[in-house]
Amino acid sequence: MDIQLSADQSSAHGVTQWRYAIQLIEALEAFRALRPEWEELEATSEDYSLCLTYGYCELAATQVLAKGGLVTVAMVYDDSHLLALWPLAIERKGLLRVANVLTCGNHEEYGGPLVKGRATRPLVAACVRAVMQVPADVLEIPFLQDGSLLQEALESAPQSWVLRVLPNRLSVFPGYSVGLRRFAEWDDFSGTRSQSLRRNLRRYRKGLGLIGHTEFGWCTTPDDAVAVLNWLFANKRRWAVTRGLNTEYLMDDEVRDFFITLARQTDLSTVPLVAFVKVDGVPICASINLVGSRTLEYWIFTYDEAYNRYSVGNLLTEFVARWAHANGCDFDMRIMYNEYKTYWVNRETRHRTRVVVLGFRGRLREISLLIFQISRVRRRLGKEVVAALARTQAQLARRLSLPGLRKTSHDA
């Protein structure tokens, strides 16, 4: 059933009269009916991620609805115009209805609304009031940046006490990005990086060129995008399996197929959705890049470890960052630490996943969160114990190998 709730959702704030509408969508046709308003809002937004564009969200909604889930869109209007919308998937997790981001399948999209113009405190606060009315028990907002307007607006909302009391080392995700738009020329930014990085990049590029025809670029045709995406996900899956990592989204083809479909719907001649390094026509490094209005997100990345000596990952990073700068974008290297990110970034942020309780039953979510955190601590403690035992064993072996301490048959 597709419904709109707005008759009693208005309130005055200063001179602005807000009107809230909640669209509950069970069929793709109803989602597509939102397209004109959505794309009009998108055209006026000053800062948005590709993840909030209509095209991206329609593909994500298609996946949700195919699995029997629901899609809801919280919308904020003034007297006559749409000012913001916040699309969400609603899925059953046990007894709970959980609202979360519309996702390609890896659940790593930043959560939040698409807003007209530049986000303001009153408008973001209105978005929070609207989203609190969606028909779910819990709202999960992944990787919300500390100090953002959305984080401030959510402070008064009822949130998980389990996540609130966690120490930072268990709840904070570091984020890494490069503010490129403030540099007039690429060399102005490059000059802020270490001399060793710049020297090594020249050396790696030269060395790579000696082993075959080397190409840096992005896929400009759907067929090329499909070929590189197939390689990217197969390579990344092998990487995870060999390390014993059960990265859920790599174990099936849902995310790969999402981006194959997105590539077929994108003007690839102008947008580096799939970038690559190829040697003699074969991919050795590739990335998926989400280009928004002001930021390029370095979304999914992999490389062939056989070319590790040439640091092909950093070479591709430089290529994509150069494109971002030339096209007026900052470069978001996303959350989670990786050493190579530190060579490039000039801005570090802190992110947390927020769990907002929308109704009494939502407090049941605390149980699964608590169980997860306990198991997480146990795994960490287990690894620390194993590492400590290994260190003790190594120390004992070294001591037994010292002259005068080595036990022989004559000592028995």
Are 168 and 188 part of one and the same domain? no
Distance, C-alpha 210 to centroid of its chain: 36
DSSP letter string, 179-196: --TT-SSHHHHHTTS-HH
Residues 206 and 94 in one domain: no
pLDDT of residue 402: 53
The answer to whether residue 117 sits within a structural domain is: yes
H-helix segments, 8-142: 28-32, 35-44, 54-66, 121-131
Q: How many other C-beta atoms lie within 10 A of the C-beta of residue 370? A: 14
- pLDDT at site 127: 97
Contact of 244 with 273, CB cutoff 8 Å? no
What's the pLDDT band for 363 if we cut at 50, 70, 90? confident
- Whether residue 329 is found in the same domain as residue 363: no
Residue 378, Cβ neighbours under 10 Å: how many? 10
The whole domain housing 259 covers 180-345
Q: How many residues make up the chain in this entry?
A: 412
Report residue 385's pLDDT band, with 50, 70 and 90 as the boundaries: low
CATH number of the domain enclosing 356 = 3.40.630
Domain closes at, from 300, 329, 345: 345
At 236, list the tokens: 């990344």
Same domain, 311 and 355: no
Q: How far is CA 371 from CA 44, 359, 366, 378, in A?
A: 44, 21, 9, 11
For residues 193 and 335, state if they share a domain: yes
pLDDT at position 9 over 60: no
Look at residue 143 and tell me if it is in a domain.
yes
Domain co-membership, 38 together with 129? yes
- Listed in sequence order, the residues at least 6 apart from 255 whose beta carbon sits closer than 8 Å to its beta carbon are 104, 105, 106, 233, 249, 300
Same domain, 53 and 20: yes
Average pLDDT over residues 346-375: 84
Measure the CA–CA gap between 162 and 156, rounded to whole angstroms.
16
Q: Is residue 330 part of a domain?
A: yes
Q: 65-95, pLDDT tens digit by residue?
A: 999 999 999 999 998 899 999 999 999 988 8
- Specify the range with the lowest mean pLDDT, choosing from 65-69, 326-330, 359-363: 359-363
- CA 3 from chain center: how many Å? 30
User: 39-53, 65-79, 357-371: which range is least confident on average?
Assistant: 357-371
Q: Mean pLDDT in the chain?
A: 89
pLDDT given at position 411: 35
Residue closest to 154 by CA, chosen among 136, 172, 167, 141: 141
The enclosing domain of 200 has a CATH number of 3.40.630.30
Q: What is the pLDDT of residue 379?
A: 66
Asked if residue 357 and residue 336 are part of one domain, the reply reads no
pTM of the model: 0.87
Q: Is 395 domain-assigned?
A: no
Residues 167 and 186 in one domain: no
Residue 408 has pLDDT above 50, yes or no: no
Number of domains the chain is built from: 2
Asked if residues 294 and 328 have their Cβ atoms less than 8 Å apart, the reply is: yes
d(CA 213, CA 224): 17
Is residue 131 included in any domain, yes or no?
yes
CA 283 to chain centre: 24
The residue with greater pLDDT, 247 or 385, is 247
**Would the pLDDT of 111 be above 70?**
yes
**Tokens at residue 366, please?**
């605390």
- Domain match, 92 and 163 both: yes
Residues 51 and 163 reside in one and the same domain: yes
Q: 324: helix, coil or strand?
A: helix
Domain shared by 207 and 267, yes or no: yes
Q: Work out the percent of the chain whose per-residue pLDDT is above 90.
A: 76
What distance in Å separates the CA atoms of residue 17 and residue 301, rounded to the nearest whole number? 45
* Residue pLDDT, tens place only, 174-208: 999 999 999 999 999 999 999 999 999 999 999 99
| pLDDT at position 5 over 60 | no
pLDDT value at residue 64:
97
Q: Does the pLDDT at position 331 exceed 50? A: yes
